[in-house]
Amino acid sequence: MRTTLIITDPGQEQAVALMAILASPKEFDVLGIVAGAGNTTLDHTVRNILQVVELTGRTGIPVFRGCPRPLVRPLVTAAHVHGATGMDGYDLPAPAQAAEEEPGVAAIIRLLRAADPGAVTILQMCNMTTLAVALIEAPDIAGHIREVVMMAGAYFEVGNITPTAEFNIYVDPHAAAVVLESGIPLTMLPLDVTHQLRNTRERLDRFSALGNHCGEVVDALLSFSETFDLGKYGWDGAPLHGPVVPLYCLYPELFSGRLINARVETGSELTMGMLAADWWQITDLPRNVNYIKDVQVDAFYDALLELIARLP
């Protein structure tokens, strides 16, 4: 079992990732969920997390408010993809549970300091502002982190919010630089992987065919958010991002990559947030990121389907 802290900003596909984690109580011991601002504003992401927690029946897991904006730059959201709430496509009931009063940064520091050295995996599925602030305020917490598994970056696929940058890094490139330079073991699941995972109509229909409420919700949410990407890419299905994080933790044998050096551009407006990924090992810089490049697509969707089938 992995002891985990989740940092996320649902977002339809982030909601599906969260559902996959919450479907796995024997595999993930979730200390808490921290909301970030990214796919939409912080008020919406907090509410969306609480709704997913209640949808899955995993109430009681504490939810915290992370940082409402990036370290340096104005907040950029993806309402053009996810809708005004960030989770348009299915109307879930208003949550009964409320977020904790303790700020997310303070919660991360407290929970990590209470854990054994190298005990906690951070499931990082949005921009890295809140984690970076926690590391800046309390550098000692790095020693309590087993690994940060993140959906972030791109090399072969380059960018999805600008021609050169992936969204989660672009929202706060300065925070991403802090995390990449932290010395913590890092696994990065980039667009190079997520663009291989396409939500074709046949795959989405399999979720609604499960016959449970959560399967119906997955189909509806991903059907809404795919509209923008289908027009953008002209593919037979929109890429699937967030669920790569829990699926990598549960089924690492489905993924392949290599240890490389990766840095983030923070100085040029032309390439702001671009990941300089040394895939071809051109430099002798320290290899700080386990960079995942490929995934077994059909097996991935089979595994995700099995997780969602566990839910109500």
Looking at the annotation, which residues are catalytic? 241
Between CA 71 and CA 128 the distance in angstroms is 10
- The one-letter amino acid at 190: P
Rounded to 5 degrees, φ, ψ at 161 are -110, -30
- Give alpha helix (H) positions in 145-280: 167-171, 173-180, 191-194, 201-208, 213-233, 244-250
Task: Please give the single-letter amino acid code of residue 69.
Answer: R
Residue 266 DSSP class: -
Cα–Cα distance for residue pair 40/221, rounded to 1 Å: 15
CA distance 128 to 99: 20
Token digits of residue 234? 């002209």
